[in-house]
A and B are shown apart, each in its own frame.
Chain A
Amino acid sequence: MKLVLRVWRQKERGAPGAFSRYEAPDASPDMSFLELLDVINEHLIVSGEQPIAFDHDCREGICGSCGMMIDGVAHGPMKATATCQLHLRHFRDGDEIQVEPWRAAAFPVIKDLVVDRGALDHIIAAGGFVTAQTGSAPDGNAILVPKRAAEEAMDAAACIGCGACIAACPNGSASLFTAAKISHLGLLPQGQPERARRVVAMVAQMDREGFGNCSWHGECEAACPKSISIDTIVRMNRDWLAACIMPKEKSRSEEGG
């Protein structure tokens, strides 16, 4: 099949960018979208041009490295699918596809489709953990975890940190990313002692990184390759409000459901 790509090209951080048009006359429907970029890059290199830079690693939808706006949709038209697992059979022969990097003030473009997502690490560093020094843990079965809590925590913990939620959000909000981690740890008994502290610190960091606010468009949920629910944001707001207006002890012991 033949596809035409209009790809954002930008030399480096802060440099002006523009779209360039590339034809891929020999695309196969079995290719992944990233493999299509590989093929285009091979042609570019041989013809003496700069290949398109894009982040990618595992190519099985779990590392969260890849991600781009494909025709105005984060990770492209397939629901619950990262760019690396998007195959060309979901496009039509002759399609012209617009490819753009994630756009957010907190995600500056480094080159072409590569952006800096370090802000997400900073949010985790601010509080997205359970303080458990190596060696100090009690037996794994010493604290019971209800199956439902473990399952719900796992739903939220499935986040791959790709940044699609931020890219898709009209406000550039990192609420879904932050809320997923807060939900994951807040649902488990191990996460309770730091629950209030965590949510306050992570939300504050989210603001410091320059992300926008959540206005419940639901674009993040639709873009998420792991289908993480915006109900996690409800939980984040609840925990945050509780942590701010209630005495610490009270919000700490608040029941998880």
Chain B
Amino acid sequence: MLFLWRAVVGKKIAMAVTGAIMIAFLIGHVAGNLLVFRGAVALDAWSAFLKHNAGVLWAVRAVLFVSVVLHVVAAVQVTLLDRKARPQAYARIQPQAATVASRTMRIGGLLIACFIVVHLMHLTTGTIRPAPFQEARVYDNVVGGFHIWWVALIYVVAMIVIGLHLVHGAWSWLRTLGLSRPKAEPLQRPIAAALAIVIWAGFTAIPLAILFGLVR
């Protein structure tokens, strides 16, 4: 494995695999979160169910933690390498094919990393408490937090960044792993974009709905 990690392509492969794991997590995460629309009982039950299976929960958390670390470390290393590979910038550059999504992967990744920290401190550990925080009262914590406009705004903005990150990431991980086939290529970008939109829409709907009083 170390052999893989030593090559630049290997680092990218690590990023692709960990990225895919995080995408899978996000799909599960958004599905769970949407239970908020079914009321406090449903969401709290889901939370209780997860807590009840502590072994699985901690295994998932461990995998995610390792994924995030690998993803970030690889990203930092690759970014530094790329800086070294192009030490002098062009006086003028007109991108021909790069998308907003592909060009914001790095800054987006940095913002997402910051957001994850904030998010965990807000809703998992309760370290940051813009509103009263109660252990095991997920629904109340969420609704309480998102009633505050600037909390909702942070989440809405963060979801745009995550969505954008996914537009490129959900497409390119298959290519980095060499799994993409030319025949399927015309579908891959739209599928990745659709996935990004679904995840973005699901996550964004919650703070907005709460902020505008659709969920109370």
Interface residues of A (CB under 8 A from B): 8, 19, 69, 71-73, 98, 100, 103-106, 168, 170-173, 203-204, 206-207, 210-219, 221-223, 229-231, 233-242, 244-245
Contact = CB atoms under 8 A, between A and B. Distances in A.
A238 B84 CA distance: 26
A146 to B, nearest CB: 16
A230 B93 CA distance: 21
Contacts of A236: 9, 178
Interface in B97-113: 97-99, 102-103, 105
B101 to A, nearest CB: 10
B97 A204 contact: no
Contacts, number: 134
A210 B84 contact: yes
A206 to B, nearest CB: 8
B91 interface: yes
Contacts of B95: 170, 217, 219
Interface residues of B, number: 42
Contacts of B11: 213
Contact of B85 (A71, A172, A240): A172
A103 B92 CA distance: 12
B174 to A, nearest CB: 8
B135 interface: no
Contact of A71 (B8, B92, B175): B92
A210 B85 contact: yes
Mostly, the B contact residues are helix
B147 interface: no
- Max chain A CB contacts within 10 Å: which of B92, B102, B182? B92
A216 B89 contact: no
Given A98-B92, A244-B4, A104 B97 contact: no
Contacts of B78: 212-213, 215
A209 B96 CA distance: 26
A207 B7 contact: yes
Contacts of A106: 85
Contacts of A105: 84-87
B28 to A, nearest CB: 26
A97 to B, nearest CB: 10
A7 B140 CA distance: 63
Given A98-B91, A106-B85, A219-B97, A203 B175 contact: no
B96 to A, nearest CB: 4
B102 A215 contact: yes
A229 B7 CA distance: 23
A216 B177 contact: no
10 contacts: A69-B93, A98-B91, A172-B82, A210-B85, A212-B82, A212-B84, A214-B12, A217-B103, A219-B95, A241-B13
